[in-house]
Amino acid sequence: MSRGRREALNRRQLLAAATCTAAAWPAAAPPASGQTKASQPEAEYQPEPKGGFACEMCAQFRPPHDCQIVAGDISPKGWCKFFDLPD
């Protein structure tokens, strides 16, 4: 096998592995329109802040008690793994 062919296979393998890894990585983005919201356990939601961050500071929070990503009653003082500071 030529050296060029071996490198091409290695690049293909690398790209295939990267694609599989990216597909398996948990998304931290809001659900696309038409999809359901994550449950509070799925989002690791807690009703108290974490590390000084709270839902009321999150770009996904909608006062008084709603979130674009997480279902249910959301406390402004809560936190979840989808926390996102606004730009």
Show the tokens assigned to 52: 């000084």
Instruction: Please state the domain count of the chain.
Output: 1
Q: How far is CA 56 from the centre of its chain?
A: 18
pLDDT greater than 60 at residue 3: no
Contact assessment for residue 37 and residue 71, using Cβ atoms and an 8 Å cutoff:
yes
Three-state SS for 28?
coil
Residue 81 lies in a domain: no
Residue 62 lies in a domain: yes
What are the tens digits of pLDDT across the range 19-74? 654 445 555 555 556 679 999 999 999 999 999 999 999 999 999 999 999 999 99
pLDDT score of 35:
75
Instruction: Place 87 in a pLDDT band, splitting at 50, 70 and 90.
Output: confident
pLDDT score of 16:
63
- Give the best-scoring range by mean pLDDT among 2-11, 27-36, 70-79: 70-79
Residue 47 lies in a domain: yes
Residue 80 lies in a domain: no
Measured CA to CA, the distance from residue 27 to residue 46 in angstroms comes to 19
Q: Among the residues of the chain, which ranges form H helices?
A: 3-24
pLDDT score of 28:
52
For the entire predicted model, the pTM comes to 0.60
Residue 54 lies in a domain: yes
Give the residue from 57, 20, 15, 13 showing the smallest Cα distance to 67: 57
DSSP 78: -
Residue 85 lies in a domain: no
